[in-house]
A and B are shown apart, each in its own frame.
Chain A
Amino acid sequence: MKTPFRLDEHPRRGPQPLSSPPAGYFEQLPTRIMAQVAAPARRPQPLAWLWAAPASLRTGLASTLLLGTFAASLWLGNTPLGRPAATADTLAAVPQQQLLEYLTNGETHVDMLDLAELPTRQLGLTKHYLRPSASELTAALDGQPADEPGVL
């Protein structure tokens, strides 16, 4: 068995036990470091003040920004946009013949019946028809032939 190793008996290799860096390394190092620190100094960061601000201020700014975004999205969501009006104007500028050709060209699955102009329904007449008075109803029933079982 060999003698136990003792650190204080071991010859110390000075403060640098490893191999030296490449020749000229310490002559070039200051220049390389100065190149690194000089470059950012010429280009100040536009938001550098934000990082230097206290954490409470940054939190406040972030909350305000978040609330502002939320409020803006709500406001924009409730405001009617000008787009439908613009679309209607654009459509009005298209000649009727072109519209008709487009709608009946077979790909749009629209036929002439869909495009037919139907007479406007007289809502007043319908309303009156569906809500007859008692005397009108009696007169209508009396006027029906007695041999029609479906009516009675």
Chain B
Amino acid sequence: MEDPEILLKFQDPASRNLAFNQLVRKYQQKVYWHVRKMVVDHADADDLTQDVFVKVFQHLANFRQDAALFTWIYRIATNECLSFLQSKRRKFFLPLNDVGAELAAKLEADPAIAGDEIELRLQKAILRLPDKQRLVFNLRYYDEMPYEQMAEVTGTSVGALKASYHHAARKIEDYVTKADNLTAATDEAD
């Protein structure tokens, strides 16, 4: 079912649930992975994905269609992720690096990455970025989203997004290179 048809059927109370069910089936994987890359943990991603779709349901009747439906859903998911990470830091009185360490520990426990040393370093480097910059990096590097769409999702100008992405990429390359050199030096010393 195409987005305009979903929106049309959602307006009719008789077909609202059917339309929303189609919407969830269509976008659940994209939303889940967008959230998962930000919070790493599956259980957190599961909770947040459900929260995102509940908010979509509550506000879809007011959706003005001045942006693509998925861009609008992505924006809700992005805000949920940033709020979640912010409240996590406030709740546990943890500084930035400690939440990063918690996420890194979850990363190390992830069976898909645990055996791949380079990939683990890359993921740890991504985790060291500030939340908003990490979000920009994920949207561009993994989702390959055009900068114009990213601008709609994040409410940031295209120029600022390009600068943020290249800055993030540079920081990641530096971090992984330093980690590689440190490991090589340790191996030589042994």
Interface residues of B (CB under 8 A from A): 17, 20-21, 24-25, 28-29, 32-33, 36-37, 40, 42, 45-46, 49-50, 53-54, 57-58, 107, 110-113, 118-119, 122-123, 141-144, 169, 172-173, 176-177, 180-181, 184
Contact = CB atoms under 8 A, between A and B. Distances in A.
Contacts of B46: 21, 25, 29
A19 B111 contact: yes
Contacts of A131: none
A21 B24 contact: no
B6 to A, nearest CB: 13
A6 B24 contact: no
Given A13-B119, A21-B32, A36 B50 contact: yes
Chain A facing B: main interface SS: loop
B40 A7 contact: no
Contacts of B21: 30, 34
Q: Which among A16, A21, A33 has the highest number of chain B CB atoms within 10 Å?
A: A33
A38 B180 CA distance: 52
Given A1-B181, A2-B180, A33-B50, A17 B113 contact: yes
Contacts of B25: 30
Interface string A23-59: 0011001101110111000000000000000000000
A21 B31 CA distance: 13
Contact of B28 (A6, A7, A30): A30
A10 interface: yes
Contact of B112 (A12, A17, A22): A17
Contacts of B54: 33, 36-37
Contacts of B50: 29, 32-33, 36
B33 A15 contact: yes
Given A7-B172, A18-B112, A29-B49, A2 B122 contact: no
A70 interface: no
